[in-house]
Structure 1
């Protein structure tokens, strides 16, 4: 995981020395919005109108943040309207590579680029920052719209309604305010919490991350003992943002990131909930465990210096979740 500095690539890992051993995630660099009419969104500039065939996603099947975008692309019916290029699962000294040898990786379908950083530099030749996925690319203007997954899924949720004819709403107006604190806690302690535990380089930093992680999993388990979904009887973006971490947990985070107090299969309600979301129409096709397992164990030589890819747990995501009893009458 290197970065660009004034347009030049540097093979540089996250600096945990200056933060007392803590992993600190970088902010997204591009924060524009696709809107139905091309007007400006909450941040960035306007000019990005929702149109079929105009946009392209660069993703990694391994990355939970990119996975969010793939899920919403499937849920909203955008698979015929927004193309996808899938990077190689290995992320080594050159960062994300656009190769196609690993099954499921596609290479760059637009420009034949070798490295994802070339796409960033095409948008901004003097770019400084991390080269991350997902990337939402505007083919017409040849620039990056956004590399912030939380905002890309909200664009997909509503901007393309007239393009797809799909008006499913995972961020409904009346639930937006209560969703925010749930998202915030889950992001800090679960989505990012597994990384803060896994990338910690001091015992104090690890302890500071791993205990809130399991406190939050216990909290979510309690919610799901009473509710079918995080916000009640309606599935929302909060559920999908959580799902991409949970589906990876037992195969990689439990072992690789030392998040091993419990597995997700040890939580009756969480485990049933993950199975229900995995079995949601179109979602299983966005999950690629070969990419997930290979990426984490092979790419992070600071954690696994010999790059041994282990056998992993094989939970049955196809088992019946039986959560209908929690639906509202």
Structure 2
């Protein structure tokens, strides 16, 4: 028997005097608004089960062996809790748990019933790591939304994820958005940071402040539209600034950059100090890679009449004897 779409049931006068009402006041249960409970509890029914269905469950549970015992037990237990107007957090006192134990047709201790009730609560998913199955499911849902041009409607995406997932806890729209932005998005930049990217990042950070989502977008054209996640930007900022001590930052005075009001003077000096270091470093690399300086002896002849050209970390050798022989032969012709 499926209990996911149980319909409500109108009671007759005869049913209102049913023996089961000595345990459950069925009229009271039928009048309960389930909306607040659905938000906090994992209800196993969309509508309150009819008296006939509850009676069937009640007598089934008294049998020695039945199918879906645990599911039926939880359905009956949820109805008892609704009948008691149990608090949404399911924190009952000892006397109330004893009462629950007396109403249930199966035998457990009050403590065991309290432990079973914890399964009804939507657990906080922030303390639960994402599983591989959840990641795959979320990715499929988001890509499906994009193919159908529904956009990233995070509330709808989260609802579909929770309906299709087998987890006992729910994921919020914010968690789904953060998981996509920090982990699953194919456009995430996972490459090593370069000095030039560090420099551009700190320049933007100084001017716009800690607006990580905006910084991710502004920085992406520098890396061929591959985006750094908000988490990676925060981590990189801490790493770069932690390498600057107060003595180094004192030597920085003034700047040609606009500065966000997010920063205090100490932070500004550290940012400017690191920017200055990176500017010198990137300029030096440009010189090493693109310019020839005779005094550095980057071009020389070796003992075999070959011209050696050193460019950065690479080296090219040209055999001048071949060049001269070709030139002479052309002149003789």
- Indicate the TM-score class for this superposition, using the shorter chain for normalisation: under 0.3
* TM superposition score normalised by structure 1: 0.23
Which protein has the larger Cα radius of gyration, Structure 1 or Structure 2? 2
Greater RCO (Cα-Cα under 8 Å, separation 6 or more): 1
The structure with the largest helix share of the pair is 2
* TM superposition score normalised by structure 2: 0.23
